[in-house]
Structure 1
Amino acid sequence: MRHYCFYTYILSNPGRTVFYIGFTKSLSKRLREHKGNRGTRNSFAGSVYCYELVYFETHKYVLNAIALEKQLKRWRKSKKIALIKSMNPRMLTLNGQFY
């Protein structure tokens, strides 16, 4: 039986003023895609320079990852920041863990 791992993640711009929420099966691949799009109009995340990983959760099932993504997208910015700081108090870039 094959084991899968899915991720729900939050990216931010360097100034930590904008947040992007998504889910993926390959976080390292997705981070490279986001970084490659920075400063372009190819995507929302790219246009606002959201390429720094500040939060992530792992899931065994894709439906759980999608459900959390949808939930987080409904949250106020202050609640997202509190969640990020619960795992990453200084809101440091976590990209290095996946490259």
Structure 2
Amino acid sequence: MQGRQHEYWVYILASRRNGTLYTGVTNDIVRRVWEHREGLVPGFTSRYGVKTLVWCEEYRYVNDAIAREKAIKSWPRQWKINLIEKDNPNWDDLFDDIL
């Protein structure tokens, strides 16, 4: 019997290129980014207009995703920018890519 495979995501949203950044973790990347984009998540992202998905990474296990999120949150800002620009040098909105 095979267990159900889960997917978890660590993601970074930005208000604009080199703007305000937000790092989060979710088990439903499409739903969660949509909620941020629509301003349905009260707090930091809605207050600062952080709506553009600029980076994401998938994990099978929630503990791995949470550990990665915590690590990224502890990084200096420039490391986060480098992570984004490694795969997304133009800071394109990746939302359509995950649909």
Q: Aligned partners of 2:89, 2:58: CA distance in 1, in Å?
A: 19
Deviation at 1:98, TM superposition (A): 2.7
Offset at residue 16 of structure 1 (A):
3.3
Answer yes or no: is 1:28 the counterpart of 2:30.
Answer: yes
CA apart distance, 1:15: 4.4
Q: Deviations over 1:34-79 (max 9, x none)?
A: 01217x8x21011111110000010010001000100011111111
Structure 1 match to 2:13: 11
The Cα of 1:84 is off from its aligned counterpart by 0.6
Matched-pair contact (CA < 8 Å) for 1:37–1:43? no
Name the CA distance, whole Å, in 2 between partners of 1:52 and 1:43: 16
Aligned partners of 1:43 and 1:34: how far apart in 2? 10
The answer to whether the 8 A contact 1:8-1:58 is kept is: yes
Which ranges of 4 or more aligned residues in structure 1 deviate by more than 3 Å? none
RMSD over aligned Cα, in angstroms? 1.5
Measured in 1, the distance between the counterparts of 2:90 and 2:82 equals: 11
Aligned pairs (5 A) from 1:1-99:
1-37=3-39, 42-99=42-99
Structure 2 gaps, min length 5: none
Is the contact made by 2:54 and 2:92 (CA closer than 8 Å) also made in structure 1? yes
Q: Distance in 2 between matches of 1:95 and 1:57?
A: 13
- Are the equivalent residues in 2 in contact too, given 1:14–1:52 (CA < 8 A)? yes
Aligned residues: 97
Q: Which runs of 5+ in 1 are unaligned?
A: none
Which TM-score applies when normalising by structure 1?
0.91
- Give the counterpart letter for 2:48 in structure 1: V
